[in-house]
Structure formats: structure tokens, C-alpha cells
């Protein structure tokens, strides 16, 4: 199954936009700022249920009061989403829902220019990236993370309030411990799955025997829910002084080592590009194993960041997938 077409109305800077897609490679050409990435964003919403870069109020075209996007698959399946400034409604399988149903979701590998800086950057950037990848690989990951972040906001607000008491924190501590320990276990498991394929995949791209490892960096490795809860209670006085929650999976990081050294600084630009390409290929492999189908590949202006060798490697590894590429100039692949 592949995407046959997509339509946008009042989406970002598009009044209306229609794209017919090829079953193999579709190239969207245009100058910077013309809305190419918005097309990939609309596809992502209709295949995964939410945007990869914004909330719905930010997406509506200025001076309009709604947006609508619709997608047609080659097997006749259709899905659409409408946001009217108050709520978003999906229509799939002739039913209206507030969220995209699981059966209407399809696997996607998204490749953004910012991903090529993943070896460097801040812990929050690393978490955002791997949270997006892990949400694709585990159906419960997104909901657990959403519940954790909601509880974290409530606890932090309480920490800043006047004269909170210890019992006031119990329910939020309990939720943070429950979902935090679950997320930590999933992060460890999925990082291990990536590492099982990382070196062989990297070697196939770089044609050498360098050693690459993705490290899950956390204070809470192998922690149980009860242990997590106890630590939150022990840290309460410190957190009251600081005004925020100082311990938790919201402080985790993901870092690469390259030949037993921190890859940020030891890996060259080309080696870094090969690490990220390997990561994308592994993501596609894991998604195919999980779902039994090839994921749709969305490449947002990344060809200009890759040399010819890595461009060819990218195309060869995704030759059996539907690939949708944005670019400011025609590309050779």
C-alpha cells in the first residue's frame, strides 16, 4: 500500500495544495519557505496522528479559521483531519474520532536536516528525537510519556506554590514513578535493539570497522516503580528549594560513542553523517519487523547535506519503500 495523493486547505502558507504521489519516489521541488516541509507535516499527521513540529493553532493559515487535510491510499483507504480552532477531528473508515485510530496509522521514517546534528546538541534535542522514534516502535510509549509530562507539570507548579505540604505531592509522585519507570524500561529496551544493528549497519555504509554505540544516559537505570517513588520523596526538600523536579526521566540523555570516545568531537562530519544514516536504516528495519510493512520514508531537504556516496546509500536502502523527498533543487538519486 502507498499514498496516492494528499490535499491541503488553509494549512500553513497553503490556501489549497494537491500532490499526486508515485509508488516509489516523489520529489517536491521549491524554494525555501514555499511550504515543502508543510506537505510532509500533513502526511505525518494523517499517518501518525500529530505534527512533528507544532500544535494545531500554529498550523492554521493566518486569517482563516480552520484547516483541512486529506490523504488517499492506492487501496481506496482515505483519512482526513480538520481543525476548527477548538478541536481536531479525524475521519477514517467512515467514522469521526478525536484521535487517529491505531488501525489508521501507518509506519513512517522521518528524516529532517536537524537529525544530522543529533550527535551533538542538547539532551532535550536528543530526547525529542528518540521519543519520536520510540513512539513509532511502541504503541504505549506516547501515552505513557504524555501522562508523565502532565504529572511533571503539575508537580512543578505545586513546588512553586505557597506552603505546599508533603501529602500534596503523593499523587503526582505516584504518577511520575509509574510512568517514569515504564518509560525508562522502554528506553533501555529500544536502545538495546538499536545497538544490536548499529555496528553492522554503520560498517555497510562507511566500509570500515569503527565501533559505534548508542548510550542511554540516565540516573534511573533498571529502577522499579517503588524505588522511583522513594527517590522522589527523598528529593522533596531539594525540589522545594529549587522550584522544580530535579530527578526523573525528563533529564535522560542519549549519546553516541565512536571508538570508545564521545562521538561529539571524535567523529568527523562524514562519520557523523554515516552514524545518522545507519540510525535511519535501523529505524526502518525495526518498523518493518513490528508492522510487517515497509514504512513510508519522508526526507526533508537532506540530500543537500549528503555527499554522492551517502545519497546512493540512502536510495539503495530505501529502494523498496515509498519515498517522498523535498528539495530546493533537482537531485540525483
Cell 570497522 belongs to residue: 209
Rg (CA), the chain: 21
Which pLDDT score, from 0 to 100, does residue 333 have?
58
Distance between CA 29 and CA 41 in Å, rounded? 16
Q: Which parts of the chain are beta strand (E)?
A: 3-11, 14-20, 25-29, 67-73, 78-83, 88-92, 95-97, 108-111, 212-217, 253-258, 261-262, 296-300, 323-327
The reported pTM is 0.89
Which pLDDT score, from 0 to 100, does residue 332 have?
66
Which pLDDT score, from 0 to 100, does residue 329 have?
84
Q: For residue 8, list its beta bridge partners.
A: 17, 69
pLDDT tens sequence for the chain (333 residues) = 899 999 999 999 999 999 999 999 999 999 988 999 999 999 999 999 999 999 999 999 999 999 999 999 999 999 999 999 999 999 999 999 999 999 999 999 999 988 988 999 899 999 999 999 999 899 899 999 999 999 999 999 999 999 999 999 999 999 999 999 999 999 999 999 999 999 999 999 988 889 999 999 999 999 999 999 999 999 999 999 999 999 999 999 999 999 999 999 999 989 999 999 999 999 999 999 999 999 999 999 988 888 888 888 988 889 889 999 999 887 765
Q: Cβ neighbours of residue 275 under 8 Å, at least 6 residues apart?
A: 119, 202, 212, 256, 258, 263, 267
Residue-averaged pLDDT of the chain? 94
Domains and CATH numbers, the chain: 1-106+298-333 (3.40.50.300), 114-293 (1.20.1050.90)
Which pLDDT score, from 0 to 100, does residue 117 have?
87
CA angle (126 as vertex; 269, 12 as ends), nearest 5: 95
Residue among 113, 85, 110, 90 at smallest CA distance from 101: 90
Distance between CA 70 and CA 17 in Å, rounded? 11
- Number of alpha helices (DSSP H) and beta strands (DSSP E) in the chain: 10, 13
Amino acid at each position: 500500500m502507498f499514498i496516492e495523493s494528499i490535499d491541503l486547505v488553509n494549512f500553513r502558507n497553503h490556501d489549497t495544495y494537491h500532490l499526486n504521489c508515485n509508488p516509489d519516489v516523489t520529489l517536491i521541488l521549491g524554494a525555501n519557505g514555499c511550504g515543502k516541509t508543510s506537505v510532509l507535516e500533513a502526511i505525518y499527521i494523517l499517518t501518525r496522528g500529530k505534527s512533528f513540529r507544532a500544535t494545531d493553532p500554529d498550523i492554521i493559515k493566518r486569517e482563516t479559521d480552520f484547516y483541512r487535510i486529506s490523504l488517499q491510499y492506492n487501496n481506496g483507504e482515505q483519512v482526513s483531519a480538520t481543525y476548527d480552532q477548538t478541536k481536531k477531528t479525524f475521519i477514517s473508515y467512515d467514522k469521526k474520532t478525536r484521535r487517529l485510530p491505531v488501525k489508521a496509522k501507518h509506519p513512517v521514517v522521518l528524516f529532517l536536516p536537524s537529525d544530522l546534528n543529533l550527535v551533538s546538541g542538547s539532551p532535550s534535542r536528543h530526547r525529542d528525537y528518540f521519543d519520536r522514534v520510540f513512539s513509532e516502535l511502541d504503541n504505549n510509549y506516547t501515552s505513557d510519556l504524555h501522562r508523565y509530562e502532565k504529572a511533571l507539570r503539575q508537580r512543578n507548579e505545586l513546588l512553586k506554590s505557597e506552603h505546599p505540604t508533603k501529602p500534596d505531592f503523593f499523587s503526582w509522585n505516584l504518577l511520575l514513578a509509574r510512568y517514569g519507570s515504564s518509560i525508562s524500561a522502554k528506553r533501555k529496551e529500544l536502545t538495546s535493539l538499536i545497538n544490536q544493528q548499529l555496528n553492522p549497519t554503520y560498517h555497510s555504509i562507511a566500509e570500515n570497522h569503527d565501533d559505534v554505540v548508542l548510550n542511554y544516559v540516565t540516573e534511573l537505570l533498571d529502577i522499579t516503580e517503588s524505588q522511583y517513588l522513594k527517590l522522589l520523596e527523598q528529593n522533596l526538600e531539594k525540589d522545594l528549594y529549587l522550584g522544580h523536579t530535579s530527578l526523573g526521566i525528563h533529564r535522560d540523555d542519549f549519546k553516541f560513542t565512536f571508538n570508545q570516545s564521545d562521538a561529539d568531537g571524535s567523529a568527523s562530519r562524514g562519520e557523523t553523517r554515516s552514524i545518522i544514516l545507519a540510525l535511519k536504516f535501523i529505524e526502518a528495519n525495526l518498523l518493518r519487523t513490528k508492522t510487517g510493512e515497509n514504512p513510508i520514508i519522508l526526507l526533508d531537504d537532506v540530500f543537500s547535506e549528503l555527499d554522492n556516496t551517502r545519497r546512493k546509500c540512502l536510495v539503495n536502502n530505501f529502494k523498496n519503500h515509498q519515498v517522498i523527498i523535498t528539495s530546493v533543487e533537482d537531485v540525483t538519486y
